[in-house]
């Protein structure tokens, strides 16, 4: 299964003011518990930036699944050599729609974009960075776009297909 998450900010005390709960250890523990309760070692996760402020190799080891990092503004250089199968600025997937078998474009980045590959043909744009502020899912004139920051999705982590289904429902 493939999953999409963004803005974990593990070991980042600066994000505590925006999150409910206790301190840094509690936040880290909660993220680890939730991640590993859904994601298995055989799953693949697209992390849309801001993975961890420190201890990246530790978090790579304890969080299930293989991971592609779409680099965010808070990802230290050390993150590039810490076990991600891929580190990219953006990721563009061409998939087959599970409902009708037609082509489906999914563009992923850390930052939200006004335009992206496939937008005019119904393509999807998944980003993070905004921490779920404002609209999490927008459609129609603005396109099929979703902020995948964990702060905006009470039910995270979500599978890539579940996100696409959610965006289709909003049409």
Round to whole Å and give the CA distance between 111 and 96. 25
pLDDT confidence of residue 24: 95
Buried b (16+ CB within 10 A) or exposed e, 129-148: bbbbeeebebbeeebbbbbb
Instruction: Return the closest-CA partner of residue 10 out of 72, 103, 68, 94.
Output: 72
Instruction: Return the closest-CA partner of residue 70 out of 131, 136, 4, 135.
Output: 4
pLDDT confidence of residue 165: 85
pLDDT confidence of residue 120: 85
Sheet strand arrangement including 2-5: 86-88, 66-70, 44-47, 2-5, 158-159
pLDDT confidence of residue 170: 56
CB-based contact 160:106 (threshold 8 Å) = yes
Tokens of 90: 């953006």
pLDDT confidence of residue 91: 97
CB-based contact 89:48 (threshold 8 Å) = no
Residue spans per domain, the chain: 2-169
Question: For 110-141, how does the pLDDT look when each residue is reduced to its tens digit (9 = 90+)?
Answer: 999 988 998 888 889 999 988 776 456 665 56
Question: For 62-79, how does the pLDDT look when each residue is reduced to its tens digit (9 = 90+)?
Answer: 999 999 999 999 987 777
Domain 2-169 has CATH 3.60.21.10: yes
pLDDT confidence of residue 135: 54
Q: Which residue numbers in the chain have pLDDT < 50?
A: 134
CA dihedral 144, 105, 130, 157 (to 10 degrees): 100
pLDDT confidence of residue 149: 92
pLDDT confidence of residue 72: 94
Distances (CA, A) of 100 to 54, 76, 140, 143, 154: 43, 41, 20, 20, 29
pLDDT confidence of residue 80: 72
């Amino acid at each position: 299964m493939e999953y999409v998450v963004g803005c974990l900010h593990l070991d980042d005390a600066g994000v505590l003011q925006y999150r409910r709960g206790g301190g840094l250890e509690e936040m880290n523990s909660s993220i680890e518990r939730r991640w590993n309760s859904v994601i298995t070692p055989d799953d693949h996760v697209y992390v849309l930036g801001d993975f961890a402020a420190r201890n990246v190799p530790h978090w790579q080891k304890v969080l299930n699944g293989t991971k592609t990092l779409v680099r965010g503004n808070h990802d230290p250089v050390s993150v590039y050599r810490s076990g991600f199968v891929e580190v990219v600025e953006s990721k563009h997937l061409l998939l087959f729609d599970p409902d009708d078998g037609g082509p489906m474009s999914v563009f992923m980045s850390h930052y939200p974009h006004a335009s992206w590959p496939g937008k005019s043909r119904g393509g999807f744009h998944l980003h993070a960075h905004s921490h779920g502020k404002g609209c999490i899912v927008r459609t129609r004139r603005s396109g099929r776009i979703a902020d995948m920051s964990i702060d905006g999705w009470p039910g995270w982590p979500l599978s890539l297909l579940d996100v696409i289904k959610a965006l289709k429902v909003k049409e």
